[in-house]
A and B are shown apart, each in its own frame.
Chain A
Amino acid sequence: MDMMNDRSGACPRGGAPLPACGRLAASYVPVQPQGCRRYNPEDALAKGTLFPGLDLPWMNVANATPAGWSGTPLGELMSLNFVVQELGLYLDTHPEDREALRYYTEYAALLKQGEETFTARYGPLRQMQVTLEGGYNWVGDPWPWEYGPGCEACERRDD
């Protein structure tokens, strides 16, 4: 079977093809085939990877995000950001994968949109995003190592 062209579902567990007659004294890691199944953004962040074929958790217990985290403004932003970041690494070694590139640009646009809504409500993520109306709130708490009580963006909104 030509696994490189198997676009039916997940990357086959156990991997992708290696060269039939490999060089001696060389290391081989199978190259991830194109068209692998992907998790949705929320699951991807929870698992720590976008790709089920790479999801190899400790003791075979599924990874998770904290209870109540999904659906929070910061959670949604982190999930989108994670998809873009993970696809970026994939594309670094698969620059010819047009489908992944299309998906990348789609999610980069969603992230940009999400950031605009987020920063309007919770303040800037980058210093340059401060506005005259908002005042110089770049220095406002909480900083990222202070998530917890008082982090509005960490809590689900009722509206």
Chain B
Amino acid sequence: MIQVRGLHKHFGDLHVLKGIDLDVNKGEVLSVIGSSGSGKSTLLYCLNSLEQIQKGSVHVDGIDVHAKQTDVNKLRQKLGMVFQQWNSFPHLTVLENVALAPRIVSGKSKEEAYAMAEKQLKHVGLGDKLKNYPSSLSGGQQQRLAIARALAMEPEYMLFDEATSALDPEKVGEVLDTMRLLAEEGMTMICVTHEMGFAKEVSDRVAYFHEGIMEEIGPPEQIFQAPQSEHTRKFLANVL
């Protein structure tokens, strides 16, 4: 379970997150929506300590993420993350891209790491690209590679930071399908997204962020059909 309490985050003078309280249960899919600069992505970075926080706390399975004694490298293995830019390692083949972290971080043998990588690549539909270099893949394939790379660490949570925003429109579907597949398999997911269709269909809950505040959170039916907040209503009127 992920528990966020009174989370504040500043970038210099900019107050990006203004006291966020949020619980995400195991097996739940939460979509986070909101306009650019509302703090959605920053929230994800605070969950796995890629960004430091100024006030409040984040606990993942009881571990205080921002405590000094917390081994963040170990903690991050619990929280797979997929970014807007896929960031595949250009010097490694598709298989090596996925096998690298299991080998050097989890300490798996080469055979085990490669077997795990192959399994995850088949899972996301890249089983026929193992020996390719990322440069020969399309954006959608590279994003699925990034998902396989995160899954190979056997995370308990997956964080998606606008995973389809940098893709050509015709490639968005294949990545959303992969995310849908993970959701159906019961993966706990927090998806920062602009894909309202995905948020509506796949999520258990949707959170709307506005200027660093979580304005509203609830089941998709509530957010999309009967939003409580005026800001949510305005935002949805613009994007839907």
Is this pair of chains taken from one and the same complex?
no
B residues adjacent to A (C-beta < 8 A)? none
A residues adjacent to B (C-beta < 8 A)? none
